[in-house]
């Protein structure tokens, strides 16, 4: 016979109301009590009537996460950590992939906010905040991650890379490099623009001219940077800084394919999540991203927004750090 909510309550030693609050996330329940209820649900293989729950509470217990490039391990890591955080509140994650296409993003927003999810986490590729503002219903719980806008009125959580990129380029200059190429991402994206400005600032502060022919623009995704490495080498670059981890992988692959020894024939400034990923590839500068901290904060913030949708917008900025890795 199929277990009922009363069976779960009896098994856990709590009231049916407490079981309901755990399932529907409608009131605070201590972690120890929540664990008892969840363990009892698992032991009895209890499955609540989802449609009845939705009709009663109006909550789907679903969060949408719109990412620009699901193949990028940075965003994959954000997805996994956000999912871990919201699962504590019995929420599930729905992920859509825009491939850095604004129309794809708008289509995803329309679908997800039309009654499918309770809240939205968004790493936006839109060019203007007004575009998002028009697409997202008023008072809909939303948190922007990784990217933001100067006039943003939503909650936002970002990572500043300016100091780390600036330091990395200065280190290259201190090692004697005067021709440092830069492979930038999409310039309407706040993070990509910030990193490019840091590169320019480091050169300017060291009285090295910023040369437009040494700055190339990829699309922030895989397979967009390789074509520029040869060009920068032809211009005499002895060092290259790369805007993000996806394009950095292209540059590293190009170097190994063409017998260019990293740390000897060329200096690189890259970024990623895990120092070990590039450690054995040669000595290089590295921008370390606190991605998991960002994702945890995003998961916690979207849950707070769902409980208090009218709470004032908060902006939090995490700081990337510069390290050197490899032999």
Structural domains in the chain plus CATH codes: 5-57 (1.10.260.40), 62-158+291-319 (3.40.50.2300), 162-288 (3.40.50.2300)
Q: Which residue's entry shows tokens 């991650």?
A: 145
Asked if the model's pLDDT at residue 5 lies above 60, the reply is: yes
Q: Which residue's entry shows tokens 């993000």?
A: 244
Neighbours of 245 (CB within 10 A): 21
pLDDT digits (tens, 9 = 90+) for 118-170: 999 999 999 999 999 999 998 899 999 999 999 999 999 999 999 999 999 99
What's the rounded mean pLDDT across residues 98-111? 96
Asked if the model's pLDDT at residue 53 lies above 90, the reply is: no
pLDDT digits (tens, 9 = 90+) for 236-280: 999 999 999 999 999 999 999 999 999 999 999 998 756 566 666
pTM: 0.81
């Amino acid at each position: 016979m199929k277990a009922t909510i009363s069976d779960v309550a009896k098994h856990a030693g709590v009231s049916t109301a407490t079981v309901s609050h755990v399932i529907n996330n409608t009131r605070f329940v201590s972690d120890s009590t929540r664990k008892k209820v969840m363990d009892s649900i698992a032991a009895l293989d209890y499955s609540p009537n989802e449609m009845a729950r939705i009709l009663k509470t109006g909550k789907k217990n679903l969060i949408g996460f719109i990412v620009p490039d699901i193949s990028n391990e940075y965003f994959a890591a954000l997805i996994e950590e956000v999912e871990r955080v919201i699962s504590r509140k019995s929420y599930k994650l729905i992920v859509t992939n825009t491939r850095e296409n604004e129309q794809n993003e708008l289509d995803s927003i329309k679908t997800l906010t039309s009654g499918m999810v309770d809240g939205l986490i968004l790493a936006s590729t839109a060019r203007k905040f007004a575009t998002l503002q028009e697409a997202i219903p008023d008072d809909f719980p939303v948190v922007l991650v990784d990217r933001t806008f100067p006039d943003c009125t939503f909650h936002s959580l970002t990572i500043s890379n300016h100091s780390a990129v600036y330091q990395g380029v200065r280190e290259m200059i201190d090692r004697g490099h005067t021709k440092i190429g830069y492979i930038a991402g999409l310039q309407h994206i706040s993070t990509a623009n910030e990193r490019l400005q840091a590169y320019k600032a480091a050169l300017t502060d060291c009285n090295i001219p910023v040369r437009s022919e040494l700055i190339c623009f990829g699309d922030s995704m895989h397979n967009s940077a390789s074509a520029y490495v040869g060009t920068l080498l032809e211009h005499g670059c002895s060092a290259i800084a790369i805007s993000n981890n996806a394009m950095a992988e292209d540059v590293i692959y190009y170097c190994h394919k063409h017998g260019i020894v990293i740390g000897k024939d060329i200096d690189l400034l890259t970024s990623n999540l895990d120092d070990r990923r590039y450690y054995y590839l040669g000595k290089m500068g590295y921008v370390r991203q606190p991605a998991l901290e960002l994702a945890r904060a995003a998961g916690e913030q979207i849950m707070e927004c769902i409980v208090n949708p009218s709470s004032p917008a908060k902006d939090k900025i995490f700081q990337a750090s510069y390290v050197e890795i490899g032999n």
